[in-house]
Structure 1
Amino acid sequence: MALSATPPTLSPAYLTDRYELTMLSSWVTEGTVEDRAVFECFGRRLPEGRRYGMVAGLGRLLPMIEDFRFGEDDVTWLEEQGVVNAAGADYLRGFRFTGDVDAYREGDLYFPGSPVLTVSGTLGECVVLETLALSVLNHDSAVASAAARMVDAAGGRPLIEMGSRRAHEQAAVAAARAAYLAGFSSTSNLAAGRLHGVPTVGTAAHAFTLAHATEAEAFRSQVEAQGAGTTLLVDTYDIAQGIRTAVEVAGPGLGAVRIDSGDLAEESARARALLDELGATSTRVTVTSDLDEFVITALGDAPIDGYGVGTRLVTGSGHPTAGLVYKLVAVGDGPDPDAPLRPVAKKSASKASVGGRKTVWREHDADGLLRSEHYAADGRAVPEGASAVQVPVVRGGEVVHRPDLADVRRHAAASLASLPAAARRVTAGPAYLEATPVTH
């Protein structure tokens, strides 16, 4: 079959793996597709050396669950490809998710065993969400978890997300949103600004300087267009001369200089001394160039006022996957919503799961620091004095949880503040805690 020159506009329902629909088609054929079920998204472990993870992506995922539909052309194509049989095709024609979803709030922390997302409904409607849920949550949570560590390493100095040129064009937008909710101050990505309200920043690249006959002409053009408060990139040729030229052109009120190469600790110290010598005492020094939480930590004593982070935030070179999985944990023996659910669990070595729908709670000490996370699969309520972790986000297929990004960002900051200092260290270490079962 030839590829279309103009790809069709695809429903979120296509953002899935084939085997989700082949399983569904089999359940339709055998008559169990409407049996009650509960699926759970969790991580068996954190990435090596990480002490916590941060949940992100829920705000992107929920609208896609609401819009998870198959049009007639979609169903025809799926049947032609042998993905579903005739009975499966009939089922998909009227499909919409009508179940419930409970989740950790976006910006919350998660640990090994934390049931980040619980999806309840029919067997068929829950299974088809697996790939979509994992695609969104794994990507965004990986970026947010790395970003949160960088925020801690920066010690209050602002961080700019600038990884768009190192990622898929849509992943770049999602990464900018995830970094912002985790505590970054802004992004270079305009789509993230337009779609999600993330503050955008950016001035000029080396090409702008190279396109002018002299560095002074480039700086003069930028200052005339953007004002003296702009940031001038001073390392195209010689950093010291670039700084002198920048202050000569913009005056001592120059907003900032950016350094993108060399030994950033040494260069920032020289830049600060030279700026002060030239009377530009309020001009900020910002640095970029392959930064991550470890490099930022090493630069902690340098006279740096802000960081721009790209490649090591938005690509796998800077952060490991969140490692979330989506597993069936309970199933009914029929479609009756009041019928009991049987806990089911994998026993595979190193890939075991814990059966049963879980109630999750946390306990904090007198100072508000997080001390433990527990769950029970026996239907009990959250114990008195503890706090529930999951919140209802979808009911009957309709989204009921729509915090704005500013609220999510505040919750992420509060989540990080609930960790003791030792758990926020950038150095590698074991998970701060695990979600532990309570059976008594």
Structure 2
Amino acid sequence: MSAELPSPSATSVSLLPAERERASTALLTDRYELTMLQAALADGTAHRHCVFEVFTRRLPLGRRYGVVAGTGRLLEAIADFRFTEAELRYLSRHGVVDRPTLRFLADYRFSGNVVGYAEGECFFPGSPVLVVEGTFAEAVLLETLALSVLNYDSAVASAASRMTSAAVDRPCLEMGGRRAHEQAAVAAARAAVVAGFAGTSNLEAGRRYGVPTIGTAAHSYTLLHDDEPSAFAAQVAAQGAGTTLLVDTYDVARGVEHAVAAAGTGLGAVRLDSGDLPTLAHEVRAQLDALGATGTRIVVSSDLDEHAIAGLAVAPVDSYGVGTSVVTGSGAPTCGMVYKLVAREGRDGSLEPVAKASASKTSSGGRKAAARRLGDDGRAVEEVVVSGPDHSVATWAPQTADLRALHVPLVVEGAVDTRWTGAPGVNLAVERHEASRAELPRGARRLSAGDPALDTVHVRLDDA
């Protein structure tokens, strides 16, 4: 099973091509986004220039870093954020908004700018992972969509990264589709691959995003046949000796014996899906070797998470199949990301910082830029969040070699940068995560409870 993904295509900045009939994403939102729009249109504030920011106040307990994922999916969804006749008819029939608002929505096109952390990048509390800039009317409508995509996908990728880290150089395979909503299963497969998984059992993820797909047979296939030897013989006849045979439907030792008898010593792999996996793996490896199947791999599954994978580190396991834990974020099914207005156009036309001051839910006003400071050894030492006069922050770039800028352009004047979408976008995200995680300080990958791997330092340009 190869973890290779398609190479990225040449850079192009445009709206997504109409490769297939695409459904509108405009109603994947909360009602109050539209009722706010109606009120703002009525009082004349809807067209004020605004800056919104996506960030999380904290990481899940014990997590040392998060992983940005879903960016490519979000960009695809923004390109499809259109109020067609069907959406407008629904809104009108149910009295969600008034006629002037419906007329505005009929012509809605996001024409603003979006910058953010590249998909696959690690993030920390307070990291400005996405910045959406446009009129209030344009940008507020994207709030729920952005959060639903980024919160779920980033939760899956953050868990998946811990799993692939614990697995070291052994492949992890995503097979959790049956434990998630059917569309969430596609998103989860994609996010897991961003964080280093080598493949997925989900065919739609393979079709949409070029993700390698895996899978051979379940216990039901063995139970269908009169006995295990005939089941294995039929599978080998259909799929070849390189297939993976599930050997724990009845007795594992006899299952291994039947598997090698059916496929010969060139059998590709056996899978263990129950029992004491560390002990079974050692026993099965010894049995395979004694039968001459020294090249046959051992795949384990059965409710694995990052801790179980770490516990199998010394077992003779070749790859891990992970289901429920990865698609549910391994106990942290959301990242707690929020979408907050941080700057708005004032009466004089300039952007003014604004901030929420509620207890325990504060935000920091003003546009921000971000960079990661690297030490002499190339490892990250701190997250740097830059604030200050709006025009200065908007054009800020690191002036020293020890700072790596984190924001990249994603949407420019309404045009989606298609490098980040589809299969090429997944490939870029895989590369970015591998590089980002590799530069984290030693200890960042520990599974034990601890503080975030990097402290976040706030720097004001006018203080520099």
Aligned to 1:342: 352
Taking the aligned partners of 1:349 and 1:418, their CA distance within structure 2 comes to 35
Aligned to 2:369: 359
Q: TM-score, normalization: structure 2? A: 0.90
Aligned to 1:431: 452
Aligned to 2:44: 31
Contact 2:159 / 2:329 at 8 angstroms: preserved in 1? Answer: no
Q: CA deviation at 1:10?
A: 5.1
Q: CA deviation at 1:414?
A: 0.6
The farther-off stretch of 62-71 and 390-399 is: 62-71
Q: Which amino acid aligns with 2:217?
A: A
Aligned to 2:9: none
Taking the aligned partners of 2:32 and 2:107, their CA distance within structure 1 comes to 20
Aligned to 1:410: 431
Q: CA deviation at 1:86?
A: 2.0
2:212 paired with 1:211: no
Taking the aligned partners of 1:434 and 1:89, their CA distance within structure 2 comes to 46
Matches within 5 A, 1:98-109: 98-109=111-122
Q: CA deviation at 1:293?
A: 0.2
Q: CA deviation at 1:316?
A: 5.3
Q: TM-score, normalization: structure 1? A: 0.95
The farther-off stretch of 78-87 and 287-296 is: 78-87
The farther-off stretch of 412-421 and 130-139 is: 412-421
Helix, strand or coil at the partner of 1:12: coil
Matches within 5 A, 1:396-407: 396-400=413-417, 402-403=419-420, 404=424, 405-407=426-428
Taking the aligned partners of 1:67 and 1:10, their CA distance within structure 2 comes to 7
Taking the aligned partners of 1:200 and 1:348, their CA distance within structure 2 comes to 47
User: CA deviation digits over 1:281-300, x for unaligned, max 9?
Assistant: 11111100000001101111
- Which of 186, 200, 204 is 2:213 aligned to? 200
2:435 paired with 1:420: no
Contact 1:134 / 1:326 at 8 angstroms: preserved in 2? Answer: yes
Q: Which amino acid aligns with 2:118?
A: R
Aligned to 1:43: 56
Taking the aligned partners of 2:366 and 2:329, their CA distance within structure 1 comes to 33
Report the CA distance shift for 1:330/1:100 in structure 2 as closer, same or farther (over 3 A). same
Matches within 5 A, 1:238-277: 238-277=251-290
Q: CA deviation at 1:366?
A: 1.7
2:142 paired with 1:129: yes
- Which of 371, 380, 387 is 1:377 aligned to? 387
Matches within 5 A, 1:52-201: 52-201=65-214
Q: CA deviation at 1:428?
A: 1.8
Taking the aligned partners of 1:170 and 1:434, their CA distance within structure 2 comes to 35
- Which of 293, 298, 306 is 2:311 aligned to? 298
- Which of 221, 236, 242 is 2:234 aligned to? 221
Taking the aligned partners of 1:209 and 1:55, their CA distance within structure 2 comes to 40
Contact 2:216 / 2:243 at 8 angstroms: preserved in 1? Answer: yes
Report the CA distance shift for 1:428/1:320 in structure 2 as closer, same or farther (over 3 A). farther
Q: Which amino acid aligns with 1:239?
A: V
User: CA deviation digits over 1:405-432, x for unaligned, max 9?
Assistant: 2222111111110112201112221111
Contact 1:223 / 1:250 at 8 angstroms: preserved in 2? Answer: yes
Aligned to 1:389: 406
The farther-off stretch of 395-404 and 259-268 is: 395-404
Contact 1:311 / 1:318 at 8 angstroms: preserved in 2? Answer: no
Helix, strand or coil at the partner of 1:14: coil
User: CA deviation digits over 1:181-234, x for unaligned, max 9?
Assistant: 110001111111111000011110000000000100000000111111111000
Aligned to 2:11: none
User: CA deviation digits over 1:153-192, x for unaligned, max 9?
Assistant: 0011011100011111111011101101110001111111
Q: CA deviation at 1:263?
A: 0.6
Could you list the structure 1 runs, at least 4 aligned residues long, displaced by more than 4 angstroms after superposition. none
Q: Which amino acid aligns with 2:52?
A: F
Report the CA distance shift for 1:76/1:66 in structure 2 as closer, same or farther (over 3 A). same
Taking the aligned partners of 2:276 and 2:429, their CA distance within structure 1 comes to 36
Helix, strand or coil at the partner of 2:26: helix
The farther-off stretch of 403-412 and 179-188 is: 403-412
Q: CA deviation at 1:401?
A: 5.0
2:248 paired with 1:235: yes
The farther-off stretch of 399-408 and 304-313 is: 399-408
Q: Which amino acid aligns with 2:447?
A: V
Contact 1:44 / 1:112 at 8 angstroms: preserved in 2? Answer: yes
Structure 2 unpaired stretches of 5+? 1-21
Taking the aligned partners of 2:88 and 2:300, their CA distance within structure 1 comes to 51
User: CA deviation digits over 1:358-410, x for unaligned, max 9?
Assistant: 12122111221111111222124233122211011101111125141222211
Helix, strand or coil at the partner of 1:382: coil
Q: Which amino acid aligns with 2:415?
A: E
Helix, strand or coil at the partner of 2:82: coil
Q: Which amino acid aligns with 1:124?
A: A
Contact 2:175 / 2:200 at 8 angstroms: preserved in 1? Answer: yes
Q: CA deviation at 1:333?
A: 2.7
Contact 2:155 / 2:329 at 8 angstroms: preserved in 1? Answer: no
Structure 1 unpaired stretches of 5+? 1-8
Helix, strand or coil at the partner of 1:422: coil
Taking the aligned partners of 2:456 and 2:37, their CA distance within structure 1 comes to 31
